[in-house]
Amino acid sequence: MKARIRITLKAGVLDPQGKAIEGALSSLGFAGVDNVRQGKYIELDIAAKDRAAAEAEVRAMCEKLLANTVIENYTIDIQ
Amino acid sequence: MKSAVVVFPGINRQRDMLMALEAVTGHTPAAIWHTETALPAGVDLVVVPGGFSYGDYLRCGAIAARSPVMAAILAHAQRGGKVLGVCNGFQILVETGLLPGALMRNAGLKFVCKNVRLRIENDSTFFTRTMTAGDVVTCPVAHGDGNYFADPATLQRLEGEGRVVFRYAEASNPNGSLNNIAGIVNEQGNVIGMMPHPENMIAPIHGAEDCRGLFESLMAA
């Protein structure tokens, strides 16, 4: 199974990289762009008996290593 | 005062730390490789030094925080043993949960390598007890991710309990840290993390010896 994990900064956490991207977009002439937030995308193959088992395993990975839940949220997509 | 310095792949400030500990305390610290599962017997202080463990991949300190030696360091801290994390070491301690909050990308997005002015806020910790609260020293910083962040409740607690040990002074905050926080201590008072590098300000060759007193505090225990 393929797991796709999206890790984003929590609301209210300053994102200086997002701000820099926003500045660059604006200097390229893209108007009306606001609230740029950047994050991480991780993809992995996982052997599991079913989707629920894979999701539980990936959730444990996120809690233990992949995301820092002090500042980040994550979403998991298993296919 | 028996100390040990932990070494992870990608750490590059361990020599400075080993030399500073030896120069000031007179005892030769042990160097421990990250695959060790036990600390040398009788160690009082474990130092997690600065550098770029695992290339700062995923998040600074994230991978080192889950390495085998960290279980021994957690147990040492739970027994009341002293732990000091400097720079990447601070990031690693935060990632293990030994200290609250997170260290994020510098607000200015640039790696900063310069001297800052550092105010001692709490002079009762094992690393500041020969200093006086309000003392301002010069200390180098060298990091890209030193922007201290904690949620408002955690921040309020840290401030209320006097657990901010070091603060950037005189408008020298190099990274956007909330409340100009440069270093904190845990609730029990035995784990300290700081972004600046006091080990690089203890001898005439460093330009000044402002941070020598911090290491002398270790002896005053």
Chain A interface test: which of B53, B54, B58 (most A C-beta within 10 Å): B58
| Candidate from A20, A66, A71 with C-beta closest to B104 | A71
Given CB atoms, is B110 within the 8 Å cutoff of chain A? no
Domain B3-219 in CATH 3.60.150.10: no
**Residue in the block written with tokens 């993390």:** B193
Q: Does residue B221 surpass a pLDDT of 70?
A: no
CATH class of this structure's domain A2-78? alpha beta
Select from B186, B118, B187 the least CA-distant residue to B146: B118
Which residues are CB-neighbours of A27 under 8 A, at least 6 positions away? none
Per-residue pLDDT of chain A (79 residues; tens, 9 = 90+): 999 999 999 998 989 899 999 999 999 999 999 999 999 999 999 999 999 999 999 999 999 999 999 999 999 999 9
> What's the confidence (pLDDT) of residue A12?
87
- Judge whether B46 and B78 are in contact, CB under 8 Å: no
B143, B194 Cβ separation under 8 angstroms: no
| Residues of chain B contacting residue A13, judged by C-beta atoms under 8 Å apart | 104, 149
Q: What are phi and psi of A52, to 5 degrees?
A: -65, -40
Strands B3-7 and B30-33: parallel
Q: What pLDDT sits at residue B192?
A: 98
**Chain B: closest CA distance from residue A65 (Å):** 7
Residue B118 contacts A where some CB pair is shorter than 8 Å: no
Q: What pTM does this model have? A: 0.94
Residues of chain B with C-beta less than 8 angstroms from the C-beta of A17: 105, 109
What is the arithmetic mean of pLDDT over B51-77? 96
Q: Cβ of A16 and B109 within 8 Å? A: yes
What's the pLDDT at B1? Answer: 86
Mean pLDDT, residues B28-50:
96
B167-178 confidence digits (pLDDT tens): 999 999 999 999
The residue of chain B nearest to residue A39, with distances taken between CA atoms, is B58
Quick one: pLDDT at residue B93? 98
**What beta strand segments (E) does B38-186 contain?**
45-48, 82-86, 102-104, 112-120, 136-143, 147-149, 164-168, 181-185
